[in-house]
């Protein structure tokens, strides 16, 4: 059932817009150029909560659009990829939100539903704006 | 997935802030404790909302070649969660050990789990060092395979107990019992019980027939239960111990005595004191004596007549051995025996109801059952005498019976009908008896196929150029011999058949399953070894204990490197087709 569901969602995914996950270094450069926030997701296979993020939350058009607009998504598989040292985690999914310099803005442990995740990334954006103001003012 | 979506939705609506997750060391707390003299238990305590994937829990022996094997048994049941099987309660695993040489052994526990709130933890590992001393090894618990391997049928049955629902467990075992009722383990009891009922004489009714059958079945169930509990707890096989020439001879004599009393032969040659004693035990001396006699026969029949190991029995014994829970295990065995007794109750009641009124008819019926008793006596004796001799006895029994039926005398003028029918049967019996006599003289092994040699002479000529038409086992009698043979066979897979002369199911395997051409062809891909445990002496007991076998028939498989192939053990009689499937499953 799960496999069927995944298959259907994947098939549907190829038709509509999907998040464009890219490499970490490239993401930092693009973030610099486009003035966006780097969103790092740490996940692993066989993780129910990661599956939920990939197949439910990120499939949501509004969530995808918000991410598309302000974030550069980066993905690491904790079992397959070498994870940069600064990204510690107690489990998956874990999200890191970073500046173009690679500095940590926020860390999110675990999955969240569409509404909470949307609220959360809006908070992150607000925090970045706040910081930028602070940096700009002095 | 629904579950997680629901949980996340719930959390979202209740809390504005993101949930804070337990740190891994708060979420999972693996511990190991010694639960009894032979068993350690590994347990993973779980924090709030934490679950563990069933298939990610692995318990490994860090040094598998140290001479000690670890046997893992799941004590907890996983539940379906989304599409995965997970433990939501702290999972527990019982560890038992077999092998030799006391030492500290390192065991690694791997596991992975998630929080319901939407976080999956990394796979984790925990190393335990466990002190295994000799006493733990000696009483290593019976366990045919570890939980990580695929389970054999017996293990699957043992696993039924884990469900915990007593009613379901007992119902399942009652069903197993019904199924077993028509196997050679119980079948011989049908003529025994009906003979006993017939021998009770003319005062028989359906009610009394039922009552006596019930007494017999209850006594039988009690014997099975007691023997089972003892076997499970101490690994001692009472049934095997009773397959002793002296016991079998005594038991045979009881049947001969019963038969003689049914023929009404007491007046010739048997002293008065013997006569009363025999009458008393055979249940002729009044109601009381009858009941006690029937109970004793039921008890003894269970122990002596059908020493069979069938998967449900082995499953219950494994459960008792591993958990020490003699109460539930015993109850299961008792219920199973009652299931086995159902046909006996039906037949016993029927025998009581349709028992002819005293008179000419009655004497005939009684005598037929007398012959049946003698048949049982020969059948019992066949476990300790050469096949040709028992075949000869069968021949004598049938020929004499036929002569007694008047086969060689002409039918009286003008009598046809029933008498002709009776004589017709007599002729068939006579001919079969003659065939058996031929078989006995030509060395055939199976009374059901007395013309075996005749048959073989033809086929061997016809098929000599084709594949082997029989299986030939190398016989071993002790653990040392078996290990030596397995070592010799390196590079080839090995099939080890645990066999005993007194084991009815083994004989059936030998005469039916191992004669099937497809089975033979497949079996010949293996190095064939037969572990003969007929004697049931110390070497044989040690041999069975080493492989956690309760009794024959049992078939084990070893791979090219001489390591046992777990979870593929075959217990009990299997028909050729099923046996072939099981053989094909061995890789």
Distance CA A97, CA A108 (A): 8
pLDDT in tens, B179-197: 777 766 677 777 778 777 7
Q: Is residue B400 situated within a structural domain? A: no
Q: Where are the alpha helices (DSSP H) in B382-451?
A: 387-404, 418-442
* Total count of domains within chain B: 3
**A111 and B84: CB-CB below 8 Å?**
no
Q: Is residue B325 situated within a structural domain? A: yes
CB B553 within 8 A of CB B573: yes
Distance CA B451, CA A64 (A): 82
Q: Is residue A1 situated within a structural domain? A: no
- pLDDT for A95 equals 92
**B114 and A47: CB-CB below 8 Å?**
yes
pLDDT in tens, A67-106: 989 999 999 988 888 888 888 888 889 999 999 888 888 8
CB B137 within 8 A of CB B100: yes
**A91 and B8: CB-CB below 8 Å?**
no
What phi-psi label fits residue B425: left (phi over 0), alpha (psi between -120 and 50 degrees) or beta?
A: alpha
* Whole-complex ipTM: 0.71
Distance CA A17, CA B372 (A): 84
Chain B residues with at least one Cβ partner in A under 8 Å? 1, 4-5, 8-9, 11-12, 18-21, 23-24, 53, 56, 82-84, 112, 114-115, 117-123
pLDDT band of residue A11 (cuts 50, 70, 90) is very low
Residue ranges in chain B modelled with pLDDT below 50:
9-16, 138-150, 266-271, 283-289, 460-467
User: Which of B16, B118, B122 is most worth mutating to test chain A (most A CB atoms within 10 A of its CB)?
Assistant: B118
The residue in chain B having the minimum alpha-carbon distance to the alpha carbon of residue A123 is B17
- pLDDT for B227 equals 81
Q: Is residue A123 situated within a structural domain? A: yes
Q: Is residue A83 situated within a structural domain? A: yes
One domain for residues B227 and B275 = yes
One domain for residues B183 and B220 = yes
One domain for residues B548 and B506 = yes
**A110 and B19: CB-CB below 8 Å?**
yes
- Tell me the two tokens of residue B222: 């009690």
* Total count of domains within chain A: 1
Supply the range of the domain harboring residue A110: 18-136
Distance CA A132, CA A120 (A): 18
What is residue B472's DSSP assignment? -
B326-353: b (≥16 Cβ within 10 Å) or e: bebbbbbbbbbbbbbbbbbbebbbbbbe
Q: Which residues of chain B are within 8 Å of residue A56 when distances are taken between CB atoms? A: 1, 5
Q: Which residues of chain A are within 8 Å of residue B83 when distances are taken between CB atoms? A: 1-2
One domain for residues B258 and B216 = yes
Q: Is residue A11 situated within a structural domain? A: no
One domain for residues B117 and B227 = no
Distance CA B72, CA B59 (A): 8
> CB-based burial of residue A47 (10 Å sphere; 0-12 exposed, 13-18 middle, 19+ buried)?
buried
One domain for residues B126 and B177 = no
One domain for residues B131 and B194 = no
One domain for residues B264 and B357 = yes
Q: Which three-class secondary structure state does DSSP give residue B140? A: coil
Q: Is residue B488 situated within a structural domain? A: yes
| Cis omega (within 30 of 0) for bond into A93 | yes
| pTM of the complete model | 0.49
Q: What is the CATH number of the domain that holds B29?
A: 2.60.40.1250
The residue in chain B having the minimum alpha-carbon distance to the alpha carbon of residue A116 is B12
Last residue of a domain, one of B328, B356, B384: B384
Q: Is residue A10 situated within a structural domain? A: no
- pLDDT for B151 equals 53
- pLDDT for B10 equals 44
CB B555 within 8 A of CB B497: yes
Q: What is the CATH number of the domain that holds A65?
A: 3.40.30.10
Q: Is residue B431 situated within a structural domain? A: no
Nearest to B1 among A47, A52, A120 (CB): A52
Q: Is residue B573 situated within a structural domain? A: yes
Q: How far is residue B523 from each of residues B489, B496, B562, B573, measured CA to CA in Å?
A: 15, 11, 17, 16
The residue among B296, B499, B478 whose CA lies nearest residue B383 is B499
Query: What are the strands, taking DSSP E only, across A1-138?
Result: 37-43, 71-77, 91-92, 94-98, 104-109
CB B572 within 8 A of CB B553: yes
One domain for residues B293 and B196 = yes
One domain for residues B124 and B220 = no
Supply the range of the domain harboring residue B530: 474-584
Q: Is residue A5 situated within a structural domain? A: no
Chain A, residues 73-102, CB within 8 A of chain B, namely 78-79, 89-94
Q: Is residue B428 situated within a structural domain? A: no
């Amino acid at each position: 059932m799960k496999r069927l569901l995944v298959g259907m969602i994947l098939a549907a995914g190829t038709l509509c817009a999907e998040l464009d996950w890219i490499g970490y270094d490239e993401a930092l450069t693009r973030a610099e150029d486009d003035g966006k926030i780097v969103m790092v997701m740490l996940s692993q296979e066989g993780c129910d909560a990661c599956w939920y993020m990939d197949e439910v939350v990120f499939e949501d058009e509004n969530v995808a659009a918000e991410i598309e607009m302000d974030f550069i998504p980066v993905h690491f598989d904790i079992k397959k990829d070498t994870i940069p040292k600064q990204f510690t985690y107690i489990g998956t999914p874990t999200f890191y939100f970073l500046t173009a310099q690679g500095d940590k803005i926020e860390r999110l442990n675990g999955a969240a539903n569409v509404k909470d995740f949307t609220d959360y990334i809006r908070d992150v954006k607000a925090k970045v704006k706040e910081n930028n103001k602070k940096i700009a003012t002095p | 997935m629904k579950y997680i979506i629901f949980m996340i939705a719930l959390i979202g609506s209740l809390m504005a802030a993101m949930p804070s997750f337990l740190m891994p060391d708060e979420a999972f707390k693996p511990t190991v404790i010694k639960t009894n003299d032979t068993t350690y238990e590994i347990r993973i305590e779980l924090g709030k909302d934490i679950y563990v994937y069933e298939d990610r829990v692995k318990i490994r022996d860090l040094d598998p070649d140290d001479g000690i094997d670890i046997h893992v048994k799941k004590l907890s049941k996983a539940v379906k969660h989304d599409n995965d099987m997970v433990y939501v309660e702290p999972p527990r695993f019982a560890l038992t050990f077999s092998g030799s040489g006391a030492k500290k052994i390192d065991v690694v526990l791997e596991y992975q789990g998630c929080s319901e709130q939407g976080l999956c933890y990394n796979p984790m590992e925990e190393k335990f060092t466990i002190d295994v001393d000799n006493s733990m090894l000696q009483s290593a618990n019976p366990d045919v395979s570890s939980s990580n391997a695929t389970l054999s049928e017996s293990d699957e049955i043992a696993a039924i107990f884990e469900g915990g629902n007593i009613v379901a467990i007992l119902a399942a075992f009652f069903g197993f019992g019904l199924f077993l009722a028509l196997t050679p383990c119980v079948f011989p009891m049908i003529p025994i019980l009906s003979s006993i009922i017939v021998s009770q004489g003319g005062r028989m009714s359906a009610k009394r027939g039922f009552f006596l059958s019930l007494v017999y079945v209850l006594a039988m169930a009690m014997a099975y239960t007691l023997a089972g509990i003892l076997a499970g707890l101490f690994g001692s096989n009472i049934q095997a111990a009773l397959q002793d020439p002296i016991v079998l001879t005594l038991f045979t004599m009881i049947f001969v005595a019963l038969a003689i009393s049914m023929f009404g032969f007491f007046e010739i040659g048997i002293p008065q004191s013997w006569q009363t004693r025999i009458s008393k035990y055979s249940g002729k001396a009044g109601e009381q004596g009858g009941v006690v006699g029937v109970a004793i026969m039921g008890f003894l029949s269970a122990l002596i007549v059908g020493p069979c190991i069938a998967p449900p029995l082995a499953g219950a014994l494994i459960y008792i051995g591993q958990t020490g829970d003699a109460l539930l295990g015993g109850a299961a065995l008792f219920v199973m025996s009652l299931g086995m007794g159902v046909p006996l109750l039906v037949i016993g009641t029927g025998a009581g109801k349709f028992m002819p009124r005293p008179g000419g008819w009655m004497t005939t019926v009684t005598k037929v059952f007398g012959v049946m008793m003698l048949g049982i006596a020969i059948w019992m004796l066949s476990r300790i005498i050469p096949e040709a001799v028992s075949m000869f006895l069968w021949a004598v029994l049938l020929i004499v019976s036929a002569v007694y039926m008047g086969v060689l005398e002409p039918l009286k003028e003008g009598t046809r009908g029933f008498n002709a029918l009776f004589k017709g049967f007599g002729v068939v019996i006579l001919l079969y008896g003659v065939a058996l006599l031929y078989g006995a003289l030509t060395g055939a092994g199976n009374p059901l196929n007395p013309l075996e040699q005749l048959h073989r002479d033809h086929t061997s000529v016809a098929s000599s150029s084709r594949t082997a038409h029989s299986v030939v086992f190398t016989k071993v009698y002790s653990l040392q011999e078996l290990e030596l043979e397995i070592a010799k066979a390196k590079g080839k897979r090995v099939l080890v058949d645990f066999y005993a002369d007194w084991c009815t199911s083994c004989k059936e395997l030998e005469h039916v399953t191992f004669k099937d051409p497809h089975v033979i062809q497949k079996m010949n891909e293996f190095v064939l070894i037969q572990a003969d445990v007929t004697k049931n002496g110390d070497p044989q007991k040690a041999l069975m204990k080493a492989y956690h076998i309760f009794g024959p028939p049992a078939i084990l498989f070893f791979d090219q490197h001489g390591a046992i192939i777990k979870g593929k053990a075959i217990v009990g009689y299997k028909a050729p087709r099923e046996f072939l499937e099981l053989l094909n499953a061995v890789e």
